[in-house]
Amino acid sequence: MVPSFLSLRLSCLGLWASGLILVLGFLKLIRLLLRRQRLAKAMGNFPGPPTHWLFGHALEIQQTGSLDKVVSWAHQFPYAHPLWFGQFIGFLNIYEPDYAKAVYSRGDPKAPDVYDFFLQWIGRGLLVLEGPKWFQHRKLLTPGFHYDVLKPYVALFAESTRVMLDKWEEKAQEGKSFDIFCDVGHMALNTLMKCTFGRGDTGLGHSRDSSYYLAVSDLTLLMQQRLVSFHYHNDFIYWLTPHGRRFLRACQVAHDHTDQVIRERKAALQDEKVRKKIQNRRHLDFLDILLGARDEDDSKLSDADLRAEVDTFMFGGHDTTTSGISWFLYCMALYPEHQHRCREEVREILGDQDSFQWDDLGKMTYLTMCIKESFRLYPPVPQVYRQLSKPVTFVDGRSLPAGSLISMHIYALHRNSAVWPDPEVFDPLRFSTENASKRHPFAFMPFSAGPRNCIGQQFAMSEMKVVTAMCLLHFEFSLDPSRLPIKMLQLVLRSKNGIHLHLKPLGPGSGK
């Protein structure tokens, strides 16, 4: 009698649970359908390319050549068009300067459908914050990117670059092309370690720092893979997968490292002798500046805020710089006449000096134009996203309601033939002072634009100039016709098969 009663109770509970799951699933489906209806209505005035009944445009976006596919859509649908990831996530994809200005001059928050994936690693730092807290953090962090802070970093940029160039010297002796992307990535991460924590590797000697390097590299790759894998978008499912568990382990390593460095630095600052020694150093690292940051009310960043901003800086400054430098060197290999002119300019500036000074960077006019032109053709971050906090009306009278999602397709904007004549041609003179002054201020957005533009763009440009100048002084770069890069969007612009170049050492004295 008792067993049958228990069986009956269990059966009833099972039925109730099944019924509850069905009801919750049904409610979720209704919610998604209403969202789809709302998004479709919002973007009803914007025609676009045909969609797959289930995946939207996702299958085409994931294919090789998807970036240039969007450029072709931009020719077909001027200003903007809907872009669907599945049936329930829809963005208005924009690639026209006046449309960009309408959105990016306002300071709308980042789109949570994309940037919430970043929270587990970087927390609520400047990248994902919004409202008053974003404004407070931006104000506290801005002094950390002042010219006076950046000036001593030139020596750190050069130090990390020399390690990479020594490695390339050995590889070049083999006479074969090789993929430069990984080596540039290691150099960029090494540089960030020096500028953030006041230490970096010259051979990954410190085991704790070694683990951190590996964790940051792993997190970047895993994040990229998650964004393009729709079955990983659900948190509950993702954390149960080997991929998700690997991500959590890497997060723990990165967080433990950052927390420990912050604790050690705070403890050291309690000692007056150590504090004076740090203050008298030739440069302050990013952590020093964050620990000393105060607003008008003398409030400072909490430990959680400190970790979030350090992790954001490491994330934001690693792969973007790697992408920018690698594609620039590819452009130099592709256009040897511009490579030669950049090299001669740097040699003339350097003269009898054996190292770069801060003031030298401002004299690199032609190199800077070439860097900007490579950013135009190969923007490190080809796409960024916003969610409208209030309605917007565009220059042609069409509008979107608050809550709409915007995809700013920087790659398509930079190749928009209505903005850039002969957009596929590499022409550094587009960025001469005269030509740049005539151009729409939102036509060129490698660092985004408006109040939420990249806070570290001066840091990035300074590093780009030092690294690329040193590379050009030491090597002549040429293409490997059998291994041309295949563009691929994974958070940053990468190559599916790497960026393989031939390097010819220029001999003693070439890179003073």
Q: For residue 384, what is the enclosing H or E element?
A: strand 383-387
**Rounded-to-integer distance, Cα 391 and Cα 217, Å:** 39
The verdict on whether residue 342 carries a ligand-binding annotation is no
Asked whether residue 124 carries a pLDDT value surpassing 60, the answer given is yes
Give, in order, the Cα–Cα distances in Å from 199 to each of 202, 425, 471, 479: 10, 41, 23, 35
| Token pair recorded at residue 254 | 């990165």
**Buried b or exposed e, range 77-103, using 16+ CB within 10 angstroms:** bebbbbbbbbbbbbbbbbbbbebbbbb
**Rounded-to-integer distance, Cα 39 and Cα 92, Å:** 10
pLDDT at 431: 98
Contact 216, 189 (CB under 8 A): yes
Helix (H) and strand (E) counts in the chain: 22, 11
Reported confidence tier of residue 347, pLDDT bands at 50, 70, 90: very high
Asked whether residue 205 carries a pLDDT value surpassing 50, the answer given is no
| Token pair recorded at residue 322 | 């790697």
**Rounded-to-integer distance, Cα 290 and Cα 455, Å:** 14
Crossing angle of helices 365-377 and 457-474, rounded to 10°: 110
**Rounded-to-integer distance, Cα 336 and Cα 477, Å:** 8
**What residue spans of 351-426 are helical by DSSP H?**
358-361, 365-377, 410-414
| Strands 405-409, 89-94: pairing kind | parallel
SS3 241: coil
pLDDT at 89: 87
Reported confidence tier of residue 275, pLDDT bands at 50, 70, 90: low
Pick among 1.10.630.10, 3.30.1280.10, 3.40.50.970, 1.10.3720.10: CATH of 38-505: 1.10.630.10
Cα radius of gyration rounded to whole Å, the chain: 25
Q: For residue 89, what is the enclosing H or E element?
A: strand 89-94
Give, in order, the Cα–Cα distances in Å from 405 to each of 69, 93, 112, 134, 402: 21, 9, 9, 20, 9
Reported confidence tier of residue 281, pLDDT bands at 50, 70, 90: low
Which one has a higher pLDDT value, 15 or 438?
A: 438
